Amino acid sequence: MSFPVLEFSGISLTYPGPPPIHALRSCDLVVERGDYLTVVGPSGSGKSSFLNLAGLLDRPTGGRYLLDGLDTAVLTDRERAALRGRRIGFVFQSFHLLPHRSATENVALASLYTAGRGRHETAHRRARAWEALARVGLAHRMDSLPTHMSGGERQRVAIARALMGEPSLLLCDEPTGNLDSATAQSVLTLIEELNDNGMTVILITHDLQVAARAHRTVAIRDGVLTETVPR
């Protein structure tokens, strides 16, 4: 029996305020394994709120969210954190790397809480970090500091970090927003290669050309999610 990776039914998110902000209004969405979905919408429309819910960083105020068939509402905060660590990879616009740690350390730290901290676990984590860096084309940069890397290299490190838990879902919030257009293309190509190899990808962008590269696009406007007609 195989479940969709993500299933939103009537998902709403109201920030309490005052005044209350209806960031998402009764959203329905199904994302199947291997899908590549882009999310577009103007600033303030609810894109990051959507991603935060999908990534279990926040809880909806209404509706039901099944992740890999699991009802996320019944989970404790600790169970949600564990599930997030194992099933979700995040890539953000601003990389969020530790500046004084090497690429390998930045990537290895991603699984600190899921893989344990003993000597054996640490060595294993570093080996997996090298593998993840090799997957994003950065084997030769494993000892470099983020401060000595280009924006494109930093985003590749962030993608390697996201891959550490072997997630079922890769969530990207404007991953090319801080990159020049040539670098943005190569980062997108990398994300699309991961998708070709089976990774389910949800990618937020305000660039309609980027959005059009996906299998599917949904638009958010004032918290209302609408799937655009397939091309």
> Nearer to ligand ADP by C-beta: 48 or 104?
48
CB of 131 to ligand ADP, least distance (A): 33
Select from 24, 169, 147, 178 the least CA-distant residue to 90.
Answer: 169
From 5, 6, 23, 97, residue interacting with ligand ADP (rule: CB under 6 A): 23
From 48, 72, 102, 111, residue interacting with Mg ion (rule: CB under 5 A): 48
Rounded-to-integer distance, Cα 32 and Cα 80, Å: 21
Residue in the block written with tokens 């959507």? 50
Residues ≥6 apart with Cβ < 8 Å to 112:
125
Rounded-to-integer distance, Cα 194 and Cα 30, Å: 20
Q: Any contact of residue 175 with ligand ADP (CB under 6 A)?
A: no
The tokens describing 73, both together, are 């509402």
CB of 58 to ligand ADP, least distance (A): 8
Strands 200-204, 36-40: pairing is parallel
CB of 60 to ligand ADP, least distance (A): 13
Rounded-to-integer distance, Cα 129 and Cα 156, Å: 12
Q: Any contact of residue 211 with ligand ADP (CB under 6 A)?
A: no
Mask 13-42, x = binds Mg ion (CB under 5 A)?
Answer: ------------------------------
Mask 25-44, x = binds ligand ADP (CB under 6 A)?
Answer: ----------------x-xx
Phi, psi of 97 (to 5 degrees): -100, 155
Q: Any contact of residue 49 with ligand ADP (CB under 6 A)?
A: yes
Residue 206: CB atoms within 10 A of its CB come to 15
Query: What does the binding site for ligand ADP look like in residue numbers (CB under 6 A)?
Result: 15, 21, 23, 41, 43-49
Interface residue list for Mg ion (CB under 5 A): 47-48
